[in-house]
Amino acid sequence: MSLDSATVRRIAKLARIRVGDEEVETLRGELNAILGYVEQLAQVNVDGIEPLSGGAQMALRSRQDVQTDGGIVEQILANAPDREGQFFAVPKVVE
């Protein structure tokens, strides 16, 4: 399976990465090389095999559903590119 340029643009849109027209062809070649390489997994018979999602050989722990931290507004906002009072500021979303 080979990606066409429309698909490359669609993936970029989903990934929220702006891609210039001049980059699409290069990306298409590189992504197809990677997908071509992983294609060999088609040879492997995985009938009856459960997917392994994690590296931990253990069940995930539960914890009490309680607040464990908070009251650190200034620390959280300290790295904000833009803020208004106690809020993160972003460009206008609704006209």
Partner 1 sequence: MSIFDLTIAVAARALAAKQISSVELVTAYNGAVAALNPRLNAFITTTPDLALAQAKAADARIAAGEATPLTGIPLAMKDLFCTAGVRTTAASKILEPFIPPYESTVSGKLKTAGAVMLGKANLDEFAMGSSNITSGYGPVENPWKRTGSDARLVPGGSSGGSAAAVAARMALGATGTDTGGSIRQPAAFTGLAGIKPTYGRCSRYGIIAFASSLDQAGPMARNVEDCALLLNAMAGFDERDSTSAQRAVPDFTTALNRGVKGLRIGIPAEYRLEGTNPEILALWDKGLAWLRAAGAEIVDISLPHTQYGLPVYYIVAPAEASSNLARYDGVRFGARVDGVDLIDMYERTRAAGFGAEVKRRIMIGTYVLSHGYYDAYYLKAQKVRNLILRDFTEAFAKVDAILTPTAPSAAFGLGEKMDDPVTMYLNDVFTVPASLAGVPAMSVPAGLSSEGLPLGLQVIGRHFDEETVFAVSAALEKAAGFTALPELRAK
Indicate which single residue of 21, 22, 65, 82 sits in contact with partner 1 (rule: CB under 8 A): 82
Indicate which single residue of 2, 21, 22, 49 sits in contact with partner 1 (rule: CB under 8 A): 49
Please, are residues 35 and 15 in contact by the beta-carbon 8 Å criterion? no
Encoded amino acid at 50, one letter:
E
Residues that bind partner 1 (CB under 8 A): 3, 7-8, 11-12, 14-19, 27, 30-31, 33-35, 37-42, 44, 46, 49-58, 60-61, 63, 72, 75-76, 78-82, 88, 90-93
